[in-house]
Structure 1
């Protein structure tokens, strides 16, 4: 029982904090031996790029998104724009149609985002395809900062940074912003060591020649598309100087809905990316993939529960004082999370409770997402979460 407790506690710690420590050390060693990875000089020979935006009923955002898109810095003769609005029944297609610089692709039926992206990719002739969401806004040099990495032939995809605006947010969804700051740091180190393990759909790009259409029922299409490229032996580079900014979820309920979908998609991705679990093929990538993704999406939430139960049993049977101290720490942390939830339901905001509340909510979402995947009730064409 004691051995099981320490293994459980170690894996929980490793998943959320230990991997970051190990990764930091490995990056420092790599830089000391080989030097810091350098961004290749393309000599001003910019690749042709196509920016693809899949929009579904985004009439409240779409004009701002278009203005943001058309103001991006990139050679005008090397960039084109495609907006796909399949299934939209508001004014989104009509508003886009007033801009001749943008190619509008619209069908009245709704088949899901990935079906729309596949349809758009059939029209892409550029060297690089860049994907971004309709409700996110890009920094002006994002296209330049992404495209420069493709001068390196080992790079198959480039992921931008997701930034969540948390100004004036006074509830537990502020934890989303803190979470993404931590994730950004891990991705920076992942990229420096070898490769990012999956791109976020808010802003990512691929070499058009490497794009593989994923199954139409794919939940995390951005993750799958990028990891299939990594599976071929190409690197996914993280570029924090290309960033997409969006507001946080409208409330915790909306954030939970999003997290449950991601968790269901995570399990689906693990099932479909079985080759990445083989360390003899690409050891470093497999190490990063299991440490950064697989543990979070599979066993860690169960180990959190197991560690607490075992800790309680050990203390009940008269374990050493250290077990009582660990039980006290766990109880305080989960108690703070529970208190955060109770106060949230009463519209009482205490910032110190945001982090434990968001952390536990995130792990609950993994359990709910696993159940949803097993039941087959998560559709690829999902109802998007409401944003602030």
Structure 2
């Protein structure tokens, strides 16, 4: 029985991380859904959701106003989630350049703040951004050209992390997002992606669905758009950059918050898990989200099952390899705590951070805990 469990878990873990990523492009060889992209300039609201971003908001607004898009077709709006520093005052300095401040009182969280801002937006397309994300100059044009296709209701850009300090956890983040971007590009070829990059994604205002404040918008808003009959696509050439976190504890806290909100979001949109109504979307959500969140349980089961098989040399080797992997991650964590960089630990450390965060998020979700607000972490 232990051997059956061991191999079942090995296959499941392999499928979650590698099998699905290989299967999607294989499906794409036989099922292709072309996009009718064309250069268009619809009315766009560029929405920056911010909380206590006085250190970054001036630079962000200066960069956005310099993007390559007709100014008469662009509304720049900052949605301030009850900021208590000088964020709002700095935004008001840009009033003469057409920047709109939408202050939402009560510290209601990012999703609820976005809901209020979208109501006031004048654009036919809403682009969502954070205060520290740097867009390439043509990113807006690359995003909106997809809306020439009437089937498209939301578009995600490509999110690239930069790691100027070489922090191991940052290296892990970069590899993770390269993996994510590859999968999204393959999903788009077939039909639709099932989630967007939170710092660079857009939605037709007519397709936008207000969401509860305790769920993550860049996952669930696209799912609501899909439920409304639209397609959600990935635009490889619309690129945004952001610096990675430098410390493992910062990444860990952020991952717990993001995954908890995502799990609550899937529960909110659970109708899309019905394979009879939404076969491709259900397949994606199960393979790419649900199974991934269950990985920590599979890993624990794999180690325990392996411990019952140590009477054979092969399983001694697999057990030692597992233990060595976790010890390497632990060593990387220790090095991170004292300000050292141990690059060989980058992948094991990030892998363990994400899966430990998933484990904690699972029990937080099970307990009904909500994570609505966020704290700004800046250098």
- Shorter-chain TM-score range: over 0.9
Q: In the TM superposition, what is the alpha-carbon distance from 1:312 to its structure 2 partner? A: 1.3
Contact 1:249-1:387 at 8 Å conserved across structures = no
Give the distance between the partners of 1:254 and 1:84, measured in 2 at CA.
24
Q: Which residue of 1 aligns with 2:82?
A: 87
Confirm or deny that 1:139 pairs with 2:136.
yes
Deviation at 1:373, TM superposition (A): 2.3
For residue 184 of structure 1, the aligned residue among 181, 186, 204 is: 181
Give the Å deviation of 1:232: 2.6
Map of 1:1-388 to 2, 5 A cutoff?
A: 1=1, 2-30=3-31, 34=32, 38-42=34-38, 44-99=39-94, 100=96, 101-218=98-215, 220-297=216-293, 299-315=294-310, 318-319=311-312, 321-384=313-376, 386-388=377-379
Separation in 2, partners of 1:50, 1:346: 44
The more displaced of 165-174 and 59-68 is 165-174
Between 1:122-131 and 1:286-295, the stretch displaced more is 122-131
Q: Is the 8 A contact 1:89 1:108 kept in 2?
A: no
Residue 150 of structure 2: SS of its match in structure 1?
coil
Unaligned runs of 5+ in 1: none
Q: How far off is 1:349 after superposition?
A: 2.0
Supply the distance in 1 between the matched residues of 2:326 and 2:125 (Cα, whole angstroms).
46
Q: CA RMSD in A?
A: 1.8
State the Cα distance separating 1:108 from its structure 2 match.
4.7
2:120 alignment partner, SS class: coil
Give the C-alpha shift of residue 41 in structure 1.
4.4
CA contact (8 A) 2:112 2:211 kept: no
Change (3 A) 1:45 1:270: closer
Aligned CA distance change for structure 1 residues 373 and 203 (closer, same or farther; 3 Å)? same
Distance 1:238 1:89 in 2: 35
Structure 2, unaligned runs of 5 or more? none
Query: Structure 1: how far apart are the matches of 2:321 and 2:371?
Result: 39
Distance 1:182 1:345 in 2: 27
8 Å CA contact 1:250–1:387 kept in 2: the answer is no
Partner deviation per Cα, 1:4-51 (whole Å, 9 max, x = no partner): 221111111111111111112222333xxx5xx544243x54222111
Equivalent position SS for 1:85: strand
Cα separation, 1, equivalents of 2:76 and 2:338: 46
Structure 1 pair 270–231 and aligned structure 2 pair: CA distance change class (3 A):
same
Separation in 1, partners of 2:256, 2:128? 23
Query: C-alpha distance in 1, partners of 2:269/2:136?
Result: 32
Checking the alignment, whether the CA contact within 8 Å between 2:192 and 2:231 is kept in structure 1 is yes
CA drift of 1:387 comes to 4.1
TM-score (norm 2): 0.94
Q: Which range moved further: 364-373 or 163-172?
A: 163-172
> Bigger CA drift: 197-206 or 73-82?
73-82
SS at match of 1:51: strand
CA contact (8 A) 2:34 2:189 kept: no
